[in-house]
Structure 1
Amino acid sequence: MTATDHALELARTAARAADDRLAENIIAFDVSDQLVITDVFLICSAKNDRQVRAIVDEVEEQLLAVGAKPVRREGQREGRWVLLDFADLVVHVQHEEERAFYSLERLWSDCPAIDLGASE
């Protein structure tokens, strides 16, 4: 099983949105073979809590513009690691310290990376 075209397009839109707010190290993995709850994980980081929130706001705004609404949002109050669940896509926006500590990309490195185009 591979990620749907819809999930891939959402991931690319989210990556562009994160890039617009200067997110760093934007990567995505096709987790559809490992998880039944989603197709794609997109991970990016920011230097501070304020930037984490700005990235989250921009991702939500741009995905809403293409008809995708988050079904769940976690961590927004703390601003250190915000998870946005769009069903087919889960976006992780992490403060760089949390990114280094939890190393999600290492956990999911056996999953295929997704080409995000110019947003990478």
Structure 2
Amino acid sequence: MMQADELMQLVVDAAEEKKAHRIVALGLKGISLVADYFIICHGNSDTQVQAIAGEIRKRAEERGVTVHGIEGLEAARWVLIDLGDVIAHVFHRDEREYYNLERLWSDAKVVEFA
């Protein structure tokens, strides 16, 4: 089974592959029981949002990670990908500013990644 840190890096790498913007990893250990990490990023178009989400799902499945759910893929405004210990939030640029998850989870620490 993949460790949460490795899974976080896999999600970041997949998002970078599809040129996601402003990728942020928030460490939630000790703050939330929901997940160990939130990965937040955005795309500038519906097509890019769907491509980023698709790449994250593809890479997770290739490594045998269970994808517990994907919400919002059709509308491509805010796609949530539940990978258990890691939850990826892929926003359309406009929605990212509106929902501002980084502010909502401001007590989480921003995690450095490679």
TM-score normalised by the chain length of structure 1? 0.89
| Corresponding residue number in structure 2 for 1:12 | 9
| Corresponding residue number in structure 2 for 1:23 | 20
| Corresponding residue number in structure 1 for 2:109 | 112
| Corresponding residue number in structure 2 for 1:100 | 97
Residues 1-120 of structure 1: pairs in structure 2 closer than 5 A: 6-117=3-114
Question: 5+ residue gaps in structure 1?
Answer: none
Aligned length, in residue pairs: 113
Please tell me the residue identity of whatever aligns with 2:38: F
DSSP 3-state at the match of 2:12: helix
Deviations 1:15-37 (A, max 9, x none): 01000000000011111212112
Deviations 1:65-117 (A, max 9, x none): 22112101111111110000011000000001000111111111221111111
| Aligned counterparts of 2:34 and 2:97: Cα–Cα separation in 1 | 25
Indicate the RMSD between aligned Cα atoms, in angstroms: 1.2
Question: 5+ residue gaps in structure 2?
Answer: none
The answer to whether the 8 Å contact 1:45/1:96 transfers is: yes
Matched-pair identity in %: 35
Displaced runs of 4 or more, over 4 A: none
